[in-house]
Amino acid sequence: MPCNVCVEKGKKCCTYRFATTIERYIIDNSKTDGQFANALQPYGKVRGKRTAAKAEVDSYDASNEEAPIDEDLLDFGIEADEEAPIDEDLLDFGLENSYGNEDQVGAMNQDSVGELREENLDSVGVRSSRSRSRKRKTHDDYEEHQEQSKGKKKEPGKRALMISSTQEIPIHLKPEPTTFRGALQTSEASEWQAAADEEYNSLVGKGVFEPCDLPPGRKALTVRWVFKRKLGVDGLVERYKARLVARGFEQKYGTDYEETFATVVKAPSYRLLFAISALFKWTCRQSDIKTAFLHPTLEEEIFIAEPEGYVRNPGKVLQLKKGLYGLKQASRLWYQELRKFYEKIGFMASQYDESVFYKNENDGTTTIYTTYVDDLLSFGPNLETIMQKEKLLSGAFDTKHLGDCHHYLGMEFLKNSRGETFIHQATYIQQILDRFGLRDIRPVSTPMEVGMTTKLKTEQHATADPKFKQRYQSMAGSLTYAATKTRPDIAQATGHLSRFNSNPNAEHMKELERIFAYLRGSPTYGISYATGDIQMYVDSSYNDDPNTARSTTGWLLMAGGGAVSWASRRQGTVSLSSCEAEYKAASEAVQEAVWARCFLQELKIPGINFEDGILLNMDSTSAMKLAKNPEYQSRTKHISVRHHFIREKIQSGEVKINWVSTKDMVADGLTKPLPRPAFEDFRRNMGMKTLEEHMS
């Protein structure tokens, strides 16, 4: 594939493919490739060509309907967990993980990648200061070199490098295949084939579709296979799953669908229930409803093409009678079906999260179910009661009860002998390190250097190469998923660097890779829940964005000694003082605190009451005074009315504010980078620890 530079100049492209990264790196002729060979030899074979080397990868196929990165996620608020419903099977199936392939090359070490990148940022549309001082090799130089090389022996140090992987990656860390044909070309072909057969036979048995002729003027939707390895308690592959998915983006509004919205359980909800479970030593069990979307009857007339590998009626299409994964309305239809079932057996949907269903039992206890499409969690003090509900579920739907929760939405869930709950994403972190070729990057102790937020600026004079931009966005999106689930320690750094997604440069990429370096050194860190009150911490960093002069808000809701909800985001307007910035942040934090209070009060869990309100910890005395009374009128009269919400909640007793010193402000690390000692305190105070510490 020709590179953009050569196409623009109308010259024959002299690039070679490099199968691991999305960026292109150009190896300058002035470098002898003996240096690179030594660096890369541990990770694969080095093969030579005589020409100047340029590298380019297989581009990510946007037509392959992989889920795009959501701008709200990149702005990084906790509301990122409130996106439109995504089937957890599809999420787990790795729609966001499709950048790799089965022949993925082993990662280069950080030093060699750094050398390649610094010398050749021209190829990705951003030039470093180091590259500007060098004479760039032109296509004419390349042709001249070819002429001079004719009839001569190949000399070491005068050839390009091609790399093929020789380092074996564990099966559970390899990317899943993205096509049916690709699945049959892997070492796990028999397992994938069996999984696809099971899925197809299930669809036929449930009468999901029937063959027919396509009516005039209608178009059949195309479909694809999605594959996923399901991991067991030990983190190894337990079973293989295949899912037939319709390409819903081909649907037309008014013809193929009408309403589409369906809710899924929010991350703060299930983390809060994890904390409650640890606090009261509750049982937490997991259930999976098989082929959930196939249960409700489809209202619209929709046609699909026959799936790859299962063309039984050439020249015909399939008319859907029931829902199918991938359809825009499938999640909505399934949620309505499941909600009817819950209400039938006496459960109620929470007003504060409609994917949480609860029932106050006759013995005074509470049984709770959370729903993320077809993945269910059950919480309660009485195991026998929960198992009775599982029997009712099995009677209504084809359900697999998995016992105690161990893997959920890409997280690993553990309990130690003391009953403490621990959630982490060590496997996911290793996967993204492998995916972006950073497995051997040198670890660092903090995700961002102190003071870096004021140094990073928006690129004004250059536009990033599309492939460089795409890699940057993919890396930022992968970090965001970890930062919103179990890694609040990277929330500030990830949120800040995600602001540059529209036009990143080399400096931004360097800092983004630093977060990966930090994760490599701390992959097993997660959140531990044991004992502790429910309280909120809030802080802000005044005027720390050099591009907009806005401040950064950071707040943290703690329960059971661990973080259950957090945010690190840029404020919507410029603040005229640090007091105003703190006041705005506190008003936002109160909204989350009030939600948590109402949510738990509605569930009527014995042993939880908020007679004194939720504690809101602040380190700004001026903002506290402003929250209690309308002081500093001449300096605060311009503040929007919406921010005065905090006063009403303080007066009603729902929130109680408390001053803490900056040293004890846990949310400090959500507003700015901290030096190592302070950062380690910040991480520890959020209830984060390593897997080894939790199990000891």
Domains of the chain listed by start with CATH number: 267-291+328-416 (3.30.310), 423-695 (3.30.420.10)
Q: Are 676 and 518 in contact (CB under 8 A)?
A: no
Helix (H) or strand (E) holding 53: strand 53-56
DSSP state of 23: S
Q: Which 3 state secondary structure label does DSSP give 185?
A: coil
Give the rounded distance of the alpha carbon of 480 from its chain centre. Answer: 5
- Dihedral angle over CA of 455, 460, 464, 469, nearest 10: 60
Separation between Cα atoms, residue 531 and residue 339, nearest integer Å: 33
CB atoms closer than 10 angstroms to residue 675: 11
First-to-last alpha carbon distance for the chain, in angstroms, is: 53
Q: Which 3 state secondary structure label does DSSP give 135?
A: coil
Separation between Cα atoms, residue 372 and residue 91, nearest integer Å: 11
Q: Which token pair is 428?
A: 């996911």
Region for residue 407 given its phi and psi (left: phi exceeds 0; alpha: psi -120 to 50; beta: otherwise):
beta
Kindly list the distances between the CA atom of residue 425 and the CA atoms of 90, 104, 221, 433, 513, in Å, as whole numbers in the listed order: 18, 22, 36, 12, 18
Q: Are 96 and 66 in contact (CB under 8 A)?
A: yes
Q: Which token pair is 499?
A: 């602001």
Kindly list the distances between the CA atom of residue 205 and the CA atoms of 209, 319, 337, 408, in Å, as whole numbers in the listed order: 10, 15, 20, 28
Separation between Cα atoms, residue 404 and residue 490, nearest integer Å: 29
Q: Are strands 525-529 and 535-541 parallel, antiparallel or unpaired?
A: unpaired
Q: Are 197 and 80 in contact (CB under 8 A)?
A: no
Separation between Cα atoms, residue 491 and residue 588, nearest integer Å: 17
CB atoms closer than 10 angstroms to residue 75: 16
Cβ burial 215-228 (10 Å sphere, 16+ → b, else e):
eeeeebbebbbbbb
Q: Which token pair is 18?
A: 């490099």
Residue indicated by tokens 């050439």:
314
Total residue length of the chain: 696
Q: Which 3 state secondary structure label does DSSP give 404?
A: strand
Separation between Cα atoms, residue 249 and residue 222, nearest integer Å: 10
Q: Are 372 and 88 in contact (CB under 8 A)?
A: yes
Residues with pLDDT less than 70, the chain:
1-173, 233-235, 631-636
Residue 230 bridge partners (DSSP)? 239
- Per-residue 3-state assignment (H helix, E strand, C coil) for 188-255: CHHHHHHHHHHHHHHHHHCCCEEEECCCCCCCCECEEEEEEEEECCCCCEEEEEEEEEECHHHCCECC
Q: Which token pair is 177?
A: 């295949």
Separation between Cα atoms, residue 565 and residue 569, nearest integer Å: 13
Helix (H) or strand (E) holding 285: strand 283-289
Residue 147 bridge partners (DSSP)? none
Residue 331 bridge partners (DSSP)? none
Separation between Cα atoms, residue 46 and residue 33, nearest integer Å: 10
What's the pLDDT score for residue 169?
65
Residue indicated by tokens 């929010």:
266
Separation between Cα atoms, residue 565 and residue 352, nearest integer Å: 15
What's the pLDDT score for residue 29?
35
Kindly list the distances between the CA atom of residue 71 and the CA atoms of 385, 499, 582, in Å, as whole numbers in the listed order: 42, 10, 25
Kindly list the distances between the CA atom of residue 688 and the CA atoms of 282, 364, 478, 617, 648, in Å, as whole numbers in the listed order: 21, 33, 20, 19, 33
Q: In 3D, which of 38, 45, 17 has the Cα closest to residue 166?
A: 45
Q: Are 112 and 40 in contact (CB under 8 A)?
A: yes
Residue 559 bridge partners (DSSP)? 562
Q: Where are the alpha helices (DSSP H) in 530-632?
A: 578-603, 621-628
pTM of the predicted structure, to 2 decimals: 0.70
Residue 165 bridge partners (DSSP)? 44
What's the pLDDT score for residue 356?
97
Q: In 3D, which of 467, 501, 465 has the Cα closest to residue 99?
A: 467
Is the Cα dihedral 615, 620, 622, 627 positive or negative? negative
CB atoms closer than 10 angstroms to residue 155: 11
Is the Cα dihedral 503, 507, 512, 513 positive or negative? positive
Angle between helices 578-603 and 267-280 (to 10 degrees): 60
In terms of Cβ atoms closer than 10 Å to its own Cβ (0-12, 13-18, 19+), residue 516 is buried
